[in-house]
Amino acid sequence: ALGVDPCLPTSWQALELRFRFRGQAITVRADHDQMHVTCLAPLSVRLAGGPSLPCYPPRTSMPLEVPR
| Dist. CA 59–CA 18, nearest whole Å | 13
What Å distances lie between residue 5 and 39, 44, 49, 58, CA to CA? 18, 14, 8, 24
Structure confidence at residue 18 (pLDDT) = 97
Give residue-wise pLDDT tens across range 37-60: 899 899 999 887 778 888 888 676
Asked if the model's pLDDT at residue 66 lies above 70, the reply is: no
Cβ within 8 Å of residue 59, ≥6 positions away: 38, 39, 40
Q: What is the mean pLDDT of the chain?
A: 85
Give residue-wise pLDDT tens across range 3-50: 988 888 999 999 999 999 999 999 999 888 888 889 989 999 988 777
